[in-house]
Amino acid sequence: MPNLKFRVLLLLFTLLSSICFSQVSSIQNIQGRNIQSLNGKWNYIIDPYENGYYDYRHQPYDQSKTGTGGFFDDREQKDKSELIEYNFTGSPQMNVPGDWNSQSEKLELYEGTIWLRKRFDAKPEKGKKYFVYFGAVNYEAHVYLNGKKLGVHKGGFTPFQFDVTNKLKTGENSLVVKVDNTRRPDEIPTVNTDWWNYGGITREVYLAEFPDHFISDYKLQLVKGNNNLISFSLKLSDATAGQDITLSIPELKLEKKYKTDSEGKVNDEFTWNNLSLWSPESPKLYAANIKSDKENIDDKIGFRTIEAKGDSILLNGKSVFLRGISLHDENPILAGRLRSDGDMRMMLQWAKDMNCNYVRLAHYPHNEKMLRLADEMG
C-alpha cells in the first residue's frame, strides 16, 4: 500500500508538471509591449478521434522517442510514397480570435479536438527573449512551435504564454495548437453548465519580444483608505539587482527614480496631493510611463479607493449605490464570443445607457481589454 500511494503521488506530480512545463508567470500589459500579432486566418483540421495526437497504440506522438509523427509536425506530402494523411495548407481556415461554433455550421455543436495552424515570419535577435502569448483558448491547449512542444494549458478564459527564445527561427515558423473543448464531469465547466461551450482560440495571439531582463509585473494604486498615498511595486523577470527604473506621470509632473533590489523588485509608497480621483461620473485616467534601461512601457491609471463599511460601499470615501447588470463574453448581434474592442465598447455603452455604474462579468475571467474599456468609460 505505501508503494501504491507513492506511485499515485508521483503520477499526480508528473501530470501537473506536464500541464505547467515551459510556462512563465503572466506578463503584465501585453498590449503595451513590443508585439507581433498572430491573429487572422488560421488553417484547421477537425480531429474527433485524435488521430493526429495518438499512434496506433494510443501513445501520444509527442512522447515517443522521436517526438514526431503527429499533426504538430506540420509536414506536407512531397510524393505519394510518404504516409502523410493530413494537409494544413489545403485545409479550411477560421478567424483567430474567434470560436469555431459560430464560424462553421457543421461546428456549431462540435465538442472535441481541432488542430489550428499559423505560419509566420520572424527575425529573432541575440540577447532578446521571445514569448508566444495567448489571451485565451477554450478549453485545453497543446501548443507546438516548429514541431516542438511548448506546453499544455487548461482553462478557457485566462491568458498564458510560453518562452520560445530557443525555438524561434529566422524566417518562416509554424505554430500549431491542439484545442479540445470536451466537457468532463471532473473539470470546469462540468457536463451541465449554463453557458455555451465555445471552442477555439477565442482571444488574441501575439509573438512578444523582450530584453533579457524585462519588467514582468507592476502595480500603481492608492493605499487603502488614503486618497493621497500612492503605492508602486514592480518586478523584473529575474532577480537582477541595481537596474534603473523610472516612474513618471507627465500630467502630474511626477517622476520617481529607483533601483531594483536583490530580488529584482521595487516597492515604494509616497504622498501626492491634489489627485483627480476616478469615478463613474468622472473616469479620470492618467498616462503613466515605466522605464528601465532596456524597456519603455506606457499605461493608463485611474486612482481610486473602494471599501465596504457596515452596509455601505465607499468609493473614494463616499457611499455609492451600485446599479448594474450581468454580462457574458458574447455578442448578442453576431453569434459567438466578443471579437473586437468595438464589440466590448458596445456592450458597456448599452450598460451606461441603462444608467448602470457597474457590471458583473459572468461567470469567468473576461478579456483584459474589457476591463480597460470599463476604466475608460466609467
* Separation between Cα atoms, residue 366 and residue 118, nearest integer Å: 24
The x, y and z cell numbers of residue 58, run together, are 494510443
CATH architecture of 215-304: Sandwich (2.60)
State how far the alpha carbon of 145 is from the alpha carbons of 94, 149, 366, in Å: 19, 6, 27
| Beta strand pairing call for 93-96 and 40-46 | antiparallel
The highest-level CATH class for domain 2-211 is mainly beta
Buried b (16+ CB within 10 A) or exposed e, 268-304: eeeeeeebebbbbeeebbbebebbbeebebebebbbb
pLDDT in tens, 38-92: 999 999 999 999 999 999 999 999 999 999 999 999 999 888 878 898 999 999 9
Q: Return d(Cα 212, Cα 228) in angstroms, integer.
A: 35
| pLDDT for position 23 | 54
Tell me, what's the pLDDT at 24? Answer: 59
DSSP category for residue 25: P
Cα maximum dimension of the chain: 76
The predicted model gives 363-372 an average pLDDT of: 94
Residue 187 — pLDDT band, cuts 50, 70, 90? confident
The cell numbers describing 111, all together, are 465538442
Average pLDDT, the chain: 92
Is there a contact between 264 and 244 (Cβ–Cβ < 8 Å)?
no
Strand order in the sheet with 296-301: 254-259, 244-249, 286-292, 296-301
pLDDT by residue (tens digit) across 252-266? 999 999 999 999 999
pTM above 0.85, yes or no: yes
Q: What is the pLDDT of residues 21-40, one digit of tens each?
A: 445 567 999 999 999 999 99
Rounded to whole angstroms, the Cα distance separating 282 from 60 reads 55
Nearest to 235 by CA among 243, 225, 224, 227: 243
Q: Report domain extents, the chain.
A: 2-211, 215-304, 322-377
Grid look-up 464570443 returns 337
Give CA 348 to chain center in angstroms: 21
Same fold, 2-211 and 215-304: no
